Structures are given as structure tokens and as C-alpha cells.
Amino acid sequence: MSLPVEKTDIDLYPSRNGHPAVILSRTDPVVYNRNADQSPVDYELIQQYEKNGFLVLDNVFTADEINSFKLEMKRLRKFTGAINSNEMIVEPESGEVRSIFKVHETSFIFNKLSLDKRLAGLAEFILNDQVYIHQSRLNYKPGFRGKEFYWHSDFETWHVEDGMPCMRALSMSITLTDNDHYNGPLMLIPGSHDDFVVCSGKTPKDNFKESLKKQTYGVPSDKNLKSLVDQYGIFTATGKAGSVVIFDCNTMHGSNGNITPFPRSNIFLVYNAVKNRVVEPYSNQQARPEWIASRESINPITAVECQSVDYE
């Protein structure tokens, strides 16, 4: 479904436009629904998410479900000829698959997963609106040579390069492999979602062609990153396969490289509120392609109850 969009004259979160690399206060809510009786999880967990900017839920998916996801991940990686070459990002040095985008449209299983009430229902509650998938991808961090993802706020990029107006979106990372302290797990800065970190420089044309391999623009200055870490610390999201890490669109996060023999893979789904659908980018640049950020085809989700059998 294509929806009309309008861009407001006021940019509440200016970045990469010649402004100094400063830290601004967030003006948007974190949790948009305050009715504890409607919460699909214990409301104390929602309060934890609001405070820290993220939440880790263990054992959301069964071993059988995770096995189905892993088989589908391997199938997509093996049959690369069936995937648009633009949607497959490879490591800059080794040439191994780093990410595959738009998997909620190219895979029946991952499309079903994006509708799963355990995920979509929670996103609807937190954002208090119908939601749609702004972006989906598989992240492969192979053993020995899996490269890092440098510190960044997703919202800064989605705002500047995609035209996401406000902080009314969240990400869900479904772990397909065990995440430990050694194989490059997700690191988050708790509380950083309350601060918008303005980034320096101006976005080059077609920046996505390089940034999806190694991000150079839209990353915090060393000074501002140190300020956040000094204030809030760093949390490492470790856990068994089948866990879900939910984090606010503005939470500062990243991950180290993986030089262990053990891969670290996950499915990444971004839920955006329909009322927060993208407008023209806040960078005077052409919008990134549809396979990176949904723009022309915005389909509100109807969350459904899913069982293990649905993923066979």
C-alpha cells in the first residue's frame, strides 16, 4: 500500500549538514503506549526498555523454530543467484556474505516471522500504532574474518538518508547462533537513546554503497562517544540462540569483529510506526533504494499467532 507523505519544514534532529558534532536532547517519547494492561509482556520489562533503550528477551523462539530459520539462512546464502545482487552485501576484503537485505519479502519463512505476534505485537504496543517493516536483513558474521559494525545510531542514518521524521521505530534482532563475549556480540550504550548525537560532515552521493560495508559517515565523534560511555557504560548482549534483542531506533550500538571460529548470525527486523513513515531525506540527497528502506510499498502489518509448525 502506497501512502502519501509530507515533509515538515522543521528538522528536529539536524545532522551531517555543517553543524558541530554536538549532543542534543531527544524530544520524542520512547514508549508511546502507557496502558500497562495492554502490554504483551510484563510491564516492568517495558519500563526497563524505556529506561535503557533496549531489552533482551531470552528463549523467545524454540529450538525447532531457530533450526528452521538457520536452514533458511543457509539456503539464501547458498542460492545467491536467486537474490538481487544489490541486496547482498559482502565483506570488503574476504568477499564473504555480510548481509542480505529485504528478506521479509524474498523469503516466506522470514515474511511469516515479521508478522509473528511475539515481535510485531510488541512493536505495535511500544509504538502505539500500526507498524510496517522499514528494513529487514540477515546479518552473517562468519568466524575468523567477520568484520565489525562501528558505533552508530540507526535513527541518525534513517533520518538523514531515508527521511524518517521522528524516533518512533525500533529494531528486533533475533539471534540464530549463541552470542558470547568473544564472537562479536551486539554492544549497546544504555540510556544513549535519550541523546541525539549530531554527526559531522556531509553525506556523499550514493553513500549506502560504501556504508553498508564500512560506515564512515553518520558515526559519532570520538569525543561524543567517550562522553556517552563515561556517562552510561556499555552493555554486551550475550545469550543463547532464540533470544531477541529489542532496541530503540536511537540507541547507540555496534559490534566488534569476530576472529573466533564461531559465527554470529542474526535476523534484523525494523518496525516503524505508520504515522512515522518516511518522507524526503533530510540530506538533500536522493533516497536510498527500496530494498534498504521501504518507501513506495508500505504495508501495515497484521500480527498473527505463530507456532513452530508455521516455520516448517
Residue 81 — pLDDT band, cuts 50, 70, 90?
A: low
Q: Is 35 a domain residue?
A: no
Burial class (CB within 10 angstroms; exposed 0-12, middle 13-18, buried 19+) of 212: middle
Q: Is 71 a domain residue?
A: yes
Q: How far, in Å, CA of 108 to CA of 78, rounded? A: 16
Residue 209 — pLDDT band, cuts 50, 70, 90?
A: low
Q: How far, in Å, CA of 203 to CA of 282, rounded? A: 10
Q: Is 162 a domain residue?
A: yes
Q: What is the mean pLDDT of residues 193-205?
A: 89
93 pLDDT above the threshold of 70 = no
Residue 309 — pLDDT band, cuts 50, 70, 90?
A: confident
Sign of CA dihedral 221, 246, 27, 203: positive
Amino acid at position 211, single letter: S
56 pLDDT above the threshold of 90 = yes
pLDDT in tens, 235-253: 999 989 999 999 999 999 9
- Write down the pLDDT at residue 91: 62
Q: Show contacts of 205-212: CB within 8 Å, 24+ apart.
A: 205/285, 205/286, 207/161, 207/285, 208/161, 208/288, 208/289, 208/292, 211/157, 212/89, 212/98, 212/99, 212/292
Sign of CA dihedral 300, 302, 303, 309: negative
Helix (H, G, I), strand (E, B) or coil at 162: helix
Q: Is 169 a domain residue?
A: yes
- In the chain, DSSP assigns E strands to 23-25, 54-57, 88-90, 97-101, 131-141, 149-152, 169-175, 186-188, 195-197, 235-237, 244-248, 253-255, 264-273
Q: Is 283 a domain residue?
A: yes
Strongest mean pLDDT among 41-55, 61-75, 189-203: 41-55
* Structural domain boundaries, residue 240: 23-30+52-311
What total of structural domains would you count in the chain?
1
Residue 256 — pLDDT band, cuts 50, 70, 90?
A: confident
Average pLDDT of the chain, as a whole number: 88
pTM: predicted TM-score of the whole model, two decimal places: 0.92
Number of neighbours of residue 78 by Cβ within 10 angstroms: 10
- Write down the pLDDT at residue 94: 62
CATH assignment at residue 251:
2.60.120.620
3 pLDDT above the threshold of 60 = no
Q: What is the mean pLDDT of residues 78-107?
A: 72
Rg over alpha carbons for the chain, rounded to the nearest Å, is 18
Residue 2 — pLDDT band, cuts 50, 70, 90?
A: very low
Which residues neighbour 298 within 8 Å (Cβ) at sequence distance 6 or greater?
Answer: 1, 2, 3, 132, 274, 277
Q: How far, in Å, CA of 134 to CA of 270, rounded? A: 5
Q: Is 1 a domain residue?
A: no
pLDDT in tens, 4-17: 455 566 899 999 98
Sign of CA dihedral 52, 124, 254, 257: positive
Least confident of 29-33, 51-55, 102-106, 123-127: 102-106
Q: Is 180 a domain residue?
A: yes
Residue 1 — pLDDT band, cuts 50, 70, 90?
A: very low
Decide which of 213 and 9 is more confident: 9
pLDDT in tens, 123-178: 999 999 999 999 999 988 777 777 777 899 999 999 999 999 999 999 999 999 98
